[in-house]
Amino acid sequence: MAERNSYILVIDDDKYFRDLASELLQSKGYEVVLARNAYEATAALEAKRPALAIVDYRLPEVDGMTWISKVRESDGNLPIVLCTGNWCDQKTFNWLRNILKVSLVLQKPIVPELFLHSLENIIPPPANRPPVAAEAEQSFKIQPALDTTQEEESLEQIERLLAASETRPHELERLTKLKRRIETQNAIKRARESFVKSLPEAWGELTATVKKARENPKNLLLLQEAMAVAHKLKGTAGSYGFSKVGQFAERIEHFLITVDPQSDSEQEVIWAEIIRCVTEGTQVVDAISREQATTSEAGKLPSLSCLAVVPEGGYPGPLKGAAQDANCELEMVGSSVGALVKFGRQQYDSAVIDLALDTASGHFQLARELRQAAKRTIPLGFINSKDEQHSHSEIVYGGASVLLDGNVTRGNLCEALQIMTVAGQMRKPRVLCVDDDPLLTSFVESVLRPAGIVVRSLNEPIVILDSMHEFQPDLVLLDVIMPGLTGYEVCRLLKSNDEWKYVPVIFLTSKSDAEGKRAAFTAGGTDFLSKPVLMDELLTRVKAHLSKTLNEVSTRIDPQSKVLTASALAAESEQLINICDQQSQVLSIGVISISEFDQLDTLHGAFSAEHVIGKLGELLNQRLRAEDLRGRISDSELGIVLAGEQTETLAKVFELLKQDWEKMCFPSGRGKEFQVDLCFSTAEFPLEGDNFEKLKDHALRGLKQRSALS
């Protein structure tokens, strides 16, 4: 509890830091005592208990963590802030939080404004505040509140009211009580949810013991055991608010008591009643757990929409099951015409095609037509249920991110849908949402995902760098107040990192006063959203900040060929090469050159060359897998990059490409249609180069040699 006239103890061997901290704290009206090392700190502590201790991680002789451990032996509640020059790892952080009960970890060098702002959340400045207010604030601000749940909004309302009624002690007391009630209610609600999960098991135990007692009617011990189980369940289920289950248990107990193991007469009537109660109770328990299952699933949004083009009555069971497992919204259609109609009406993220389906133009042609209808390079999956012969290059060129050979099961279908989900996300903007409250992160997911944004939630901010590296987000949403770590610190970390400093950060904050806003921008934030977060505002702001990134996507696309620009292709290829390197996989690069490109305009009229390269780009986008890279290498050359494939496959892919290309005629200014030749060359990683430039040069040399030969 905060004592009036209490002080803040600052322990640091660095004089500059001590002076700075003391000046800052005194400016806010705090009383400050300085200590140069652990011994001086302990002496100060013994003389008078401070309201807060700010401890440096590195101290001479006895370091900060050791000192805190010592303090905790006798004082479990003293609020402590640890300052450290290094970002600590997760293990250390958990130790600090959970064992040493450190309220906050701050990054050195400190930023004055953020320093004060962060401390104010732990201990309010003493200036002109009635002690009740300070005490009430302490009671809920030192430690982060219990996980807020559905009542979040009302809790936040109360907190606003609390802040507004600082000077009215009675009002404060009433509101604090109300707050405790809501928090307790929330905690009980969560306990109830976990109790539901164990309810079928508990009821099963009752059913089993009753059955045993029924089968051995002369055994008094078994009868008593059944009574005890029923008795217990009656009290427990009832207390958790499942009064109906409790009532059934009560009736069962009541009837069990009247059973007389010594008597032979009239027992059957009683047992019939007991069995009836057990049966009815089972139905109620089943209904409760089903309801629980559906409500917890309702909150989950589909991560992928998919159209399955499969023969009528093919395997709806496994498909539906897999869609459920992979959290996918799946529709089925039995013909290629039907599939095209559906794609014309609605956007799907992906499609699954069964190669056993009768199609007029061929399956690979259907795949191409679906992409044409979708106007996007959607990920595709092929099912080869009838074991038809298709070469690997046909499958790759056809665009299958995944091929299911032979038996279709719920398991392998689910895996296929997951692979397609990942392949489909390659081109969508990504947002990383960092908040310790899972409810808020799932809310953000539910708002952003339908807008075509891939959202990853992170509830443990301490591992943010790992998440950044793995997920490569285009934008970060960051909560300000998290247990042990403020969003400001996390943001500063990102901004000090060369790789991430340009990623926009939006703060989620319940402090939308001028100071809160200033702190958000001081820490390097791009923008902020006040909590409770409104759906429309969240979407609008995220989209606005992403638009910069999204525009960048469009500047990464070559306007003529609609494939990646040369520089974007190089950058993305390098990333892909890194991944292949880590997984010891090969990768192939192919260069496609349009013959006599420079002369096309002269021979066939203006824009002929542009038209030709546009058609080639379009073809590449309709063919090949969604995750393969397509880009422009030079005016007359396009490149493709296929992870996991050898140049042998690529050569066959080119044969197929050639077949498609030879069917394409272009209108000439001279009235006649004309055709264009393509030349190919390839290079393989790691055999012929360990980076994109080397591989590209290798392929280009191959092209030159070929044209020299011909």
Partner 1 sequence: MTTSINIKQVLLVDDDLNIRTLAQMGLEGLTDWKVELAGSGAEAVIKATELQPDLIILDVMMPGMDGPTTLTELRKIENLAATPVIFMTAKAQTHEVELYQMMGAKGIITKPFDPMTLSDDIQGILSKG
Q: Which residues bind partner 1 (CB under 8 A)?
A: 180-181, 183-185, 187-188, 191, 195, 198, 228, 231-232, 234-240, 243, 246, 250
**In whole angstroms, how close is the CB of 30 to partner 1 at the nearest point?**
27
As a whole number of angstroms, the distance between CA 606 and CA 610 comes to 9
Q: Which CB, 175 or 591, lies closer to partner 1?
A: 175
Q: Which CB, 234 or 368, lies closer to partner 1?
A: 234
- Report the length, in residues, of the chain: 710
Any idea which residue has 């958990």 for tokens?
Answer: 94
**In whole angstroms, how close is the CB of 50 to partner 1 at the nearest point?**
23
Question: DSSP labels for 293-343?
Answer: HHHHHHTPPPSEEEEEE--TTS-HHHHHHHHHHTTEEEEEESSHHHHHHHH
CB 549 within 8 A of CB 429: yes
Enumerate residues 6+ apart whose C-beta is below 8 A from 547. Answer: none
Residue 673, beta-bridge partner list: 667
**In whole angstroms, how close is the CB of 101 to partner 1 at the nearest point?**
17
Q: Which CB, 95 or 195, lies closer to partner 1?
A: 195
Question: One-letter amino acid identity for 19?
Answer: D
Q: Which CB, 185 or 575, lies closer to partner 1?
A: 185
CB 433 within 8 A of CB 413: no
As a whole number of angstroms, the distance between CA 274 and CA 287 comes to 20
Q: Which CB, 184 or 659, lies closer to partner 1?
A: 184
As a whole number of angstroms, the distance between CA 583 and CA 410 comes to 27
**In whole angstroms, how close is the CB of 153 to partner 1 at the nearest point?**
20
302 half-sphere exposure, CB direction, 13 A CA radius: 14
Q: Which CB, 184 or 347, lies closer to partner 1?
A: 184
CB 215 within 8 A of CB 201: no
Structure tokens at 502: 């340009």
**In whole angstroms, how close is the CB of 172 to partner 1 at the nearest point?**
16
Q: Which CB, 173 or 581, lies closer to partner 1?
A: 173
Q: What are phi and psi of 401, to 5 degrees?
A: -70, -25
Q: Which CB, 250 or 445, lies closer to partner 1?
A: 250
Task: Tell me the CA distances in angstroms from 609 to 600, 620, 674, 687, one per residue in order.
Answer: 5, 17, 12, 34
Q: Which CB, 186 or 588, lies closer to partner 1?
A: 186
**In whole angstroms, how close is the CB of 221 to partner 1 at the nearest point?**
13
Q: What are phi and psi of 210, to 5 degrees?
A: -65, -40
As a whole number of angstroms, the distance between CA 342 and CA 307 comes to 9
**In whole angstroms, how close is the CB of 245 to partner 1 at the nearest point?**
10
Enumerate residues 6+ apart whose C-beta is below 8 A from 649. Answer: 392, 393, 396, 588, 642
**In whole angstroms, how close is the CB of 239 to partner 1 at the nearest point?**
4
Three-state secondary structure readout of 164-177 = HCCCCHHHHHHHHH
**In whole angstroms, how close is the CB of 206 to partner 1 at the nearest point?**
14
> 3-state class of 556 per DSSP?
coil
Task: Tell me the CA distances in angstroms from 699 to 150, 396, 591, 677, 695, one per residue in order.
Answer: 59, 20, 6, 18, 6
Enumerate residues 6+ apart whose C-beta is below 8 A from 411. Answer: 322
How crowded is residue 649: how many other Cβ atoms within 10 Å of its Cβ? 20
Q: Which CB, 141 or 234, lies closer to partner 1?
A: 234
Structure tokens at 12: 């640091």
Q: Which CB, 176 or 681, lies closer to partner 1?
A: 176
As a whole number of angstroms, the distance between CA 261 and CA 268 comes to 12
Question: One-letter amino acid identity for 95?
Answer: W
**In whole angstroms, how close is the CB of 472 to partner 1 at the nearest point?**
42
Q: Which helix (H) or strand (E) holds 382?
A: strand 380-384
Q: Which CB, 183 or 474, lies closer to partner 1?
A: 183
Q: Which CB, 179 or 511, lies closer to partner 1?
A: 179
**In whole angstroms, how close is the CB of 253 to partner 1 at the nearest point?**
8
Enumerate residues 6+ apart whose C-beta is below 8 A from 614. Answer: 560, 561, 562
Q: 475-479 and 430-434: which strand pairing?
A: parallel
Q: Which CB, 198 or 497, lies closer to partner 1?
A: 198
First to last CA, the chain: 89
Enumerate residues 6+ apart whose C-beta is below 8 A from 432. Answer: 455, 456, 458, 464, 467, 468, 471, 473, 475, 476, 477
Q: Which CB, 181 or 469, lies closer to partner 1?
A: 181
**In whole angstroms, how close is the CB of 240 to partner 1 at the nearest point?**
6
Q: Which CB, 250 or 684, lies closer to partner 1?
A: 250
